[in-house]
Copies of this chain bind each other. A is one copy, B any other.
Amino acid sequence: MNIFEELESEVRSYSRGWPVVFDRAQGSRVFDEDGKAYLDFFAGAGALNYGHNNPVLKQALLDYIQRDGITHALDMFTVAKKNFLETFKEKILEPRDLDYKIVFPGPGGANAVEAALKLARKVTGKESVINFTNAFHGMTLGALSVTGNSMKRGGAGVPLVHATPMPYDAYFDGQYPDFLYFERLLEDSGSGLNEPAAVIVEGVQGEGGINAASLAWLKGLADLCAKHGILLIFDDVQMGCGRTGPFFSFEDAGIKPDIVCLSKSIGGYGLPMALTLIKPELDVWEPGEHNGTFRGISPAFVTATEALRTYWSDDELEKSTKAKGERIAAAFTDIVKAYPEANLVAKGRGLARGIEFESGELAGKVCAAAFERGLLMETAGPDGEVMKLLPPLTVTDDEITEGLKIIDESIATVLK
C-alpha cells in the first residue's frame, strides 16, 4: 500500500474505509489482490446498476474493441453514437412520451449539471438558481455552488453564490406545508430573492442521506416551477437508470422536467459517460458553445446501448428493482423496530436504501463492521449518519439475503 500513501493526495476518501487493494470484479462481487471476495452494496456510488463487468455488456465491449471500433471521437458522428441515439429514443424516450434533445456534456455527472445550469441561465437571462438542502450535484465550480455539504463547499476557495437553498421534502418532518417559504418568496416582490432561472433537484438525495422526496412533493415542485416560469432541472445522475425502479426517478410523479441530467450508470459498464436532456425549445446553443474532449467515448456508447437493449426492452428490471427494494425496506423496518432506543430511521426508495443512525460515528462503525464481514457499504448525510445501500440492480436474492445478514450482525455489534 506504500505507493498510494507515497504518491496519492490526502484527498482520497473511499480507500480509507476499505484499506485493501482491489483487483477483479464480477456482478455484485469485487475481489482484492489476495483473492478475497467482497459483496458490493455500493456499486460505484450508483454507477454500476447492472453489476460489475456485466457479461452481456462485456462481450459487446470486447467485440467493439477487437474490431477497432473508433474509441475516442469527440462529438463526431459515429456508428456507436447512432446506435445509442436510436436505442435511447426507442427504449427510453418514446415509451415514456418524452421529447428531449440530447447534449453530450462531457464525461461525468458534474458536466451534465454544468451544461444544464449554463443552458438554463442562457435561456432565461437570469443567473440565480434554487437548490435544496443536502443536495449533491458535483464538485466543479458550477455544480458545487448548488451542492449543500459545507465541507465540500469550503473547498471552492471562492464564495459560492448565485444559488439559494430551499427545504427539501420533509425537511421539517412534514409539520409545515410544502413550498410554503419558497412560494411566498417568489410571490413577494420585496422578498429579496433573486428571480431564479431554474430549480435543480434530485428525486432521491443519495449523498444527502438517502432522502426520498415523495411523488406528491415532486409533482408539487414541477407545478410550482411551471406556474412561476422557472425551469426544472432534474439531476438523475445517481437515481436515474433504474435505481428507484423506473428508468427516471421522476416517472412515477407524472412530471416531465425541462432538463434532465444523466451519468453514472448510463454507460452501463462503469465507463465515463453523461447526458443532458433538454426540451427542444431550450436548444438555443451556438455550435461549440459548450464542448469538451470526452463527449464521444464510443465504448461507453456501445455498453450503454447494450444495457438499454438488455434491461429496458420490458419492465422486468423495474419490477424486480421495486420488489428487491421492498424486501430491503421490510428488513430495515424490522431493524428499526428491534432497536427502539436507537432512534433509527429507515429511508429510501427502490434500491436506494438507508438507515439513519443518531450519529455519523455509529453509522461509520456499522460500515466498518460490515467491511470486516466482507460487505462494502458507505455512509451518507451531512454528518455521515446514514448507512447507505446502493446494490447493483442485478443483485440476486441470495446476495440480498447474505448482505442483510451481515448488516444485521454489524448493527448488532455496534448497538450491542
Contact = CB atoms under 8 A, between A and B. Distances in A.
Contact of A44 (B108, B132, B293): B293
B89 A7 contact: yes
Contacts of A78: 21-23
Contact of A141 (B24, B145, B149, B299): B145
Given A85-B4, A191-B148, A108 B109 contact: no
A136 to B, nearest CB: 9
Contacts of A142: 140-142
A201 interface: no
A18 B76 contact: yes
Contacts of A287: 10-13, 16
A264 interface: yes
Given A15-B77, A117-B157, A139-B106, A23 B70 contact: yes
Contact of A149 (B10, B33, B62, B189): B189
Nearest to A157: B121
Nearest to A3: B85
A68 B269 CA distance: 12
Interface stretch (A164-172, A247-255, A308-316, A398-406): A164-172
Interface string A128-163: 100111110011111101111111111111111111
Which one of A14, A89, A151 has the highest number of Cβ atoms from chain B below 10 Å of its Cβ? A14
Contacts of A8: 85, 101-104
Nearest to A20: B77
Contacts of A61: 65
A192 B150 CA distance: 6
Given A14-B74, A192-B135, A47 B161 contact: no
Contact of A118 (B77, B119, B156): B156
B208 A382 contact: no
Interface string A356-390: 00000000000000000000000001110000000
B4 A77 contact: yes
Contacts of A184: 167, 171-172
B263 A293 contact: yes
Interface string A391-402: 000000000000
A322 to B, nearest CB: 24
A294 B107 contact: yes
Contact of A271 (B12, B71, B152, B292): B71
A184 B207 CA distance: 19
Contacts of A39: none
A99 to B, nearest CB: 10
Contacts of A69: 23-25
A328 interface: no
Which one of A127, A184, A270 has the highest number of Cβ atoms from chain B below 10 Å of its Cβ? A270
A114 B3 CA distance: 25
Given A118-B156, A140-B141, A172-B180, A15 B191 contact: no
10 contacts: A6-B89, A10-B101, A13-B288, A18-B77, A72-B269, A133-B190, A133-B191, A146-B192, A160-B194, A167-B184
Given A9-B103, A10-B286, A25-B71, 15 more contacts: A10-B285, A11-B289, A21-B82, A23-B78, A53-B68, A106-B140, A111-B139, A121-B156, A134-B190, A146-B192, A149-B189, A151-B189, A155-B289, A159-B161, A189-B382
Report the 10 A-B pairs with minimum CB-CB distance, sorted nearest first: A121-B157, A72-B270, A190-B382, A141-B142, A161-B161, A13-B288, A148-B192, A165-B192, A140-B140, A107-B107
